[in-house]
Amino acid sequence: MDLSLERDSSTVLGSLFQQIINDLKNTSPLWEDFVTKATKLHQCLRAAIQAIAAYLDAFQKIADAATNSRGASKEIGTALTRVCLRHKAVESRLKTFTTAIMDCLVQPLQEKLEDWKRTVITIDKEHAKEYKRCRTELKKCSSDTLRLQKKARKGQSDTIQSLMDSHKHDVTQRRAELEEVEKKSLRSAMIEERLRYCSFVHMLQPVVKEECEVMSELGHLQEAMDSIAIVTKEPSVLPQASEELIHDTKSTMSLYPESPGGGSSSQGGCSNSLGSRKSSVCSISSMNSSGSSNSPGHHHYPRSLSQLISPAIRLKPGESSDSGFCSSPALTTQASTATSQSHAVSTWPPHSQDAVPVLPPAADRPHTISTAYEKGHQRPPLTVYTFQNPETILEGSGGSGSIPGTPNGTSGGAGAGANTPST
């Protein structure tokens, strides 16, 4: 009866030990799977951190644009910069959290997995060895005790009874030793199981700590968002500084330029119309050239001296007829001056008003070779009178009334022969 109870006790301990050992062996794939998933999480977080960094760079550019704007968005840009800085703090904490996953959890756990496997195998082997030894000794002592009990039933003797008591004592000791071996092995298995989970918790603590830091930074981010919500509550209401700027500007200067042809501001208008200066001068030149080329008697009726002087009417630098600024006064002043000059030239020399106004022909005028002119007109042929002195021509015109070398000058006479220049 006692033997069966002792056997049941050791069997219960051995069965529990074996269950724990099996659990330790079966959890090894779970640890490996956790390491794989944690590694994948680390990779995903690194990719997310790169995406967050690019996102925050674009965010910062928008915040800088709002801050550097000349409008009324500086305080919004400042608030956006604060939000961006809070995001970067979260990003920094997230980087630390990602690094802790690999350095504090994945790598140490990978190193422990092989040790844990070897430790379980060692505990199981030692338990089997001790259990087998104690079990063999117990069986031997139990068989000797049973044999002595049979002999004691046949003949009651003090020697046999003392031997039987001694063997019973040995059996009790062997059972106690076996039970102690089972308890020791069971304790080792339980400690090993507990050690695994405690080690895992110690590895997980820095990771969770960094995760809590990330969450605390998110709390600061919420404060920044609350402050920016106050700034952007009413978009149509300008800040006080912007309102003061608008008020001061209205009281000191006009926000719009004066109309074309104005007074003091026409200087600035002229400086702003430099781009149209060249086009205005070209348009005046083209008007003169087109007017002369389209006249029916262009090469038969030359221009007067007043017309030769007329190109002096030019715009001053910075003044344009089509720019819309300061063109009328300057043009009127110069036009009156040029008119007086042309009148003085037209009445020279003296006593020329009584004579017939005969002017040098168009062929006597020096022409510039122009491609556009050559296409539409034929140049007159060169004669001996082409390069005649204008003074000589005027003197000869007083006697003959016509100029040799002109289309209408048919009377050459002695005057023409006398005025023939030497070539």
pLDDT per position as a tens digit, 263-298? 444 444 444 444 444 444 444 444 444 444 444 444
Place of tokens 């080690």: 199
Interval 345-354 mean pLDDT: 47
Amino acid at 330: A
pLDDT confidence band for 134 (50 / 70 / 90): confident
Interval 4-25 mean pLDDT: 79
* Higher-pLDDT residue of 368, 162: 162
Q: Are 182 and 17 in contact (CB under 8 A)?
A: yes
Q: Is the pLDDT of residue 311 over 50?
A: no
Q: Are 42 and 97 in contact (CB under 8 A)?
A: no
Interval 363-382 mean pLDDT: 59
The CATH number assigned to the domain with range 2-231 reads 1.20.1270.60
Least confident of 165-179, 340-354, 382-396: 340-354
DSSP state of 352: T
- 287 contacts: CB under 8 Å, gap ≥ 6: none
pLDDT confidence band for 369 (50 / 70 / 90): low
Annotated domain spans of the chain: 2-231, 304-318+326-348, 349-423
pLDDT of amino acid 95: 95
pLDDT confidence band for 30 (50 / 70 / 90): very high
- 311 contacts: CB under 8 Å, gap ≥ 6: 288
The percentage of residues in the chain with a pLDDT greater than 90, rounded to a whole number, is 29
Q: Is the pLDDT of residue 315 over 60?
A: no
Q: pTM, whole model, 2 decimals?
A: 0.51
* Higher-pLDDT residue of 401, 72: 72
| Range 328-357 burial, b when 16+ CB lie within 10 A, else e | eebbeebeeebeeebeeeeeeeeeeeeeee
Q: Is the pLDDT of residue 237 over 60?
A: yes
pLDDT of amino acid 179: 86
Q: What is the mean pLDDT of the chain?
A: 71
